[in-house]
Amino acid sequence: MALPLPKDLPDAVAQALRVCPVFDGHNDLAAALRARAGYSVAGLDRLRPEFQTDLVRLREGGVGAQFWSAWVPTSLGPAEAVAATLEQIDAIERLVAAYPDWLARANTAAEVRAAWAGGRIASLIGIEGGHSIARSLGVLRSFARLGVRYLTLTHLTNTEWADSGTDQPVHGGLTDEGRAVVGELGRIGMLVDLSHTSPDTQRDALAAARAPVIFSHSSAYAVAPHPRNVPDDVLELLRRNGGLVQATFVPGYISPAVAEWEAEAAAALTSGPLDFDALWGPAPLPGQSLAPSPAPAWGELQRQLVEWEAAHPRPPVGIPDVVAHLEHLRQVADVDHIGLGGDYDGVLYQPAGMEDVSGYPRLLAALAERGWSPQDLAKLAGGNLLRVLEEAEQAASDPLWP
């Protein structure tokens, strides 16, 4: 039984997805479930419009493998961050266990292929932020033994050992401690993820890496000069490293006009549109089916944003904006070093035509119209990430994933 293809695909897209389904690098459903469902994984086998992700739309989007993100706020203390990251991992594991006909846990490239052969979506885990390991290689190795396959070195703020792209630099990149973390990731077979990091951190990590690295959800700085995007000189280093940049669709990252609009909204609203740390609430305690939820804060944020947008229309952003980034990434990094990292359920809205995880075929069709071959589309969709995952496994001297 093979993974079913979405219906009514253009020939080039169908050919590509037969070779390799979409293997997306970053999805924040676990955090969204905490914020809005008390970590309940029930009902995700039907359309859930309050989320950007459900199993029905993953199938419609041709998604065959997903890196689920385990994200916790950088404002948490070390012990809290480790505990909350474990809760995120638990939510992902419960999600997979609840839908065995749809999902299969995978840690290796071979297990991803086996999931496809069984008609299921391979589910992998990445931790979004080096603060989650609490400056402990023992914690890092413990996460690896739980099947975590990448670590994003920073999130919105610096760690004690690496500079973030959205904080004031204090280290000038990686410290010696940070280089040791990168070395240990390579030794145990976990991918180094450079999304959210500063360009200096990226350059230092690429110099220290013993295996291909990834950007799980970042786009091209030359197209949109946002600190979450990757400059051209780093893209060239990435190509030499054999790694991968997975283009993200986040409107403020891919459109300078939307980034300016969001900055104005953030200054005007009580809670800025990207202030997700404020929406982090308590997880269910033993004996509780649902935790006291931050849903009212989420709803208030959305209400304020709707009111703001009514008076200040959001600039249009759509598939052509994503295509512009992919064309540039292909030109600089080469087609063998690009992929997709949508960041679904990590942002309030996505580009027109890609509002949820069913939109990948529309993006691939737009690229096919611009002359991308089925072979190139297959590499972009997931073939390149599968290769990088396999090469990290081969480079590990002491792999700790099951």
Closest CA to 92 of 112, 70, 77, 122: 70
Which one of 93, 343, 376, 393 is the catalytic residue? 343
Annotated active-site residue 26? The verdict is yes
How far is 332 from 237, CA to CA, in rounded Å? 10
Across 267-363, the runs of DSSP E, i.e. the strands, are: 338-340
**Active-site residue, 226 included:** no
Phi, psi (deg, nearest 5) at residue 51? -115, 165
Whether 196 and 226 have beta carbons less than 8 Å apart is answered as: no
SS3 content of the chain, % helix, strand, coil (to 5): 50, 15, 40
Residue 131 a catalytic site member: no
**Residue from 131, 171, 196, 325 carrying the catalytic annotation:** 196
Shortest CA distance to 390 belongs to which of 262, 214, 172? 214
CA distances from 328 to 224, 246, 331, 381 (A): 11, 13, 5, 16
Cα–Cα dist 382/61, whole Å: 13
Q: Which of 24, 28, 321, 376 is catalytic?
A: 28
Active-site annotation holder among 24, 26, 325, 356: 26
162/184 Cα distance (integer angstroms): 15
Pair 3, 46: CB distance under 8 Å: no
Residue 217 annotated in active site: yes
- Catalytic residue, chosen from 217, 226, 325, 337, is 217
| Residue where the block lists tokens 């010696």 | 176
Residues pairing with 122 in the sheet: 65, 104
Residue 390, token pair as written in the block:
């396999």
How many beta carbons lie within 10 A of that of residue 7, not counting itself?
8
Q: Decide if 163 is catalytic.
A: no
Q: How far apart, in whole angstroms, are the C-alpha atoms of residue 61 and residue 133?
A: 33
Distance, C-alpha 302 to centroid of its chain? 22
Residues known to be catalytic: 26, 28, 128, 155, 196, 217, 343
